[in-house]
Amino acid sequence: MRDNPITRRDAMLGAAALAVAGAFPLRPGLAQSAGPLEPTTTGATDMGFVTTSDGIEIFYKDWGPKDAQAIMFHHGWPLSADDWDGQMLFFLAQGYRVIAHDRRGHGRSSQGSEGHDMDHYAADAFAVVEALDLKNAVHIGHSTGGGEVARYVAKHGEPAGRVAKAVLVSAVPPLMVKTDANPEGLPVEVFDGFRAALAANRAQFFRDVPAGPFYGFNRDGAEPLEGVIQNWWRQGMMGGAKAHYDGIKAFSETDQTEDLKAITVPVLVLHGEDDQIVPIADSALKSAKLLKNGTLKTYPGYGHGMLTVNADVLNADLLAFIKA
């Protein structure tokens, strides 16, 4: 707690910050993502760690009434739970309990040297679910997090009766890399290039990705948002290089065809038609056909990071699916 009283300078700085905020309205798409948050006396704003069976500490956030419908968010590579801020605040304002965790080796979770694969990712998510005793939860995954959700629901969530619905957003399943059985996939040399760039200069690589293809800021007429780029870089650099390096194999070479076939709960598949990171033809269009109870919605002109730069549209669609 602060010992000294608030000074006149503090007050002036605070007033100046409010004035600046009012003078520069947020870009459409970002501005309406959360909505007003009313003061609440129910529930709590919590965080903590869950220790997995192999000793990894998984960081999580758990906001909102503990008796409300739970929504658990699974982030993409190489980010953290912070990437879901716009969704967590939005759904918190709608009365939901919202949970997000940092994948092993990412964010504030332990930087172990092993276990950076979909099986461990899904098992770690299940450890969080069990520790928080989440039931009838909705699981939403972005990019690699979509692969984590598919593996979690198929192997853990549905068998344990803990899943109500799932959402795959710009997600990597069923398989990204080109193989004899998946000739439409991306050549392995693409992912070799990711590994080489990361190993050579991770800090620069993590600047180039969000400034270019991730959010579509490299497209003609795009308006790059420096704060968004810096936030992506910040999250990426919080994690470990070994986890990120190994994670490239996990998100590109894991065949999740059988995971998708095994899922029976309703699944919403959302994908931008201009996704330069996970091409829609190799992912969402195939996933929707493999799911027993899947619904596909695509967005013309939207890129891989649409949850951030088109949050108002995506949040509304997510809410409609959850309420249905």
Task: Determine which one of 82, 83, 117, 275 is catalytic.
Answer: 275
- Distance from CA of residue 36 to its chain's centroid? 22
Q: At what angle do helices 241-253 and 144-152 cross, to 10 degrees?
A: 70
Tokens 């906001």 identify what position? 63
SS3 74: strand
Residue 59 C-beta-side C-alpha neighbours within 13 Å: 15
Over its length of 324 residues, how does the chain's per-residue pLDDT go in tens digits?
A: 434 443 433 443 344 333 333 433 445 565 444 444 443 333 445 999 999 999 999 999 999 999 999 999 999 999 999 999 999 999 999 999 999 999 999 999 999 999 999 999 999 999 999 999 999 999 999 999 999 999 999 999 999 999 999 999 999 999 999 999 999 999 999 999 999 999 999 999 999 999 999 999 999 999 999 999 999 999 999 999 999 999 999 999 999 999 999 999 999 999 999 999 999 999 999 999 999 999 999 999 999 999 999 999 999 999 999 999
Q: What is the pLDDT of residue 13?
A: 38
Q: What is the pLDDT of residue 45?
A: 52
Tokens 């910040």 identify what position? 234
SS3 90: helix
> For residue 141, which amino acid is it?
G
Compute φ and ψ for 156, nearest 5 degrees. Answer: -125, -55
275 is catalytic: yes
Supply 241's token pair.
Answer: 């290089």
304 is catalytic: yes
Question: Of 184, 190, 140, nearest to 165 (Cα)?
Answer: 140
Which helix or strand (DSSP H or E) is residue 291 part of?
Answer: none
Q: What is the pLDDT of residue 40?
A: 36
Tokens 């899943």 identify what position? 163
Tokens 């100046």 identify what position? 16
Tokens 């308006």 identify what position? 223
Domains of the chain in sequence order: 48-323 (3.40.50.1820)
Supply 48's token pair.
Answer: 């903590």
Assess contact for 148 and 80: CB atoms under 8 A. no
Assess contact for 137 and 167: CB atoms under 8 A. no
Which pairs count as long-range contacts for 229-233, CB under 8 Å and 24+ apart, including other chains? 231/82, 232/79, 232/83, 232/206, 232/305, 233/203, 233/206, 233/207
Task: Determine which one of 109, 143, 252, 287 is catalytic.
Answer: 143
106 is catalytic: no
Q: Rounded CA gap, 173 and 256, in Å? A: 6
Q: What is the pLDDT of residue 241?
A: 98
Q: Distance of CA 322 to CAs 96, 101, 261, 317, Å?
A: 11, 20, 21, 9
Q: Distance of CA 123 to CAs 143, 238, 246, Å?
A: 18, 22, 17
Strand order in the sheet with 97-101: 44-51, 57-64, 97-101, 70-74, 137-142, 163-169, 267-272, 294-299
Q: What is the pLDDT of residue 204?
A: 99
pTM, two decimal places: 0.88
Compute φ and ψ for 104, nearest 5 degrees. Answer: -55, 135
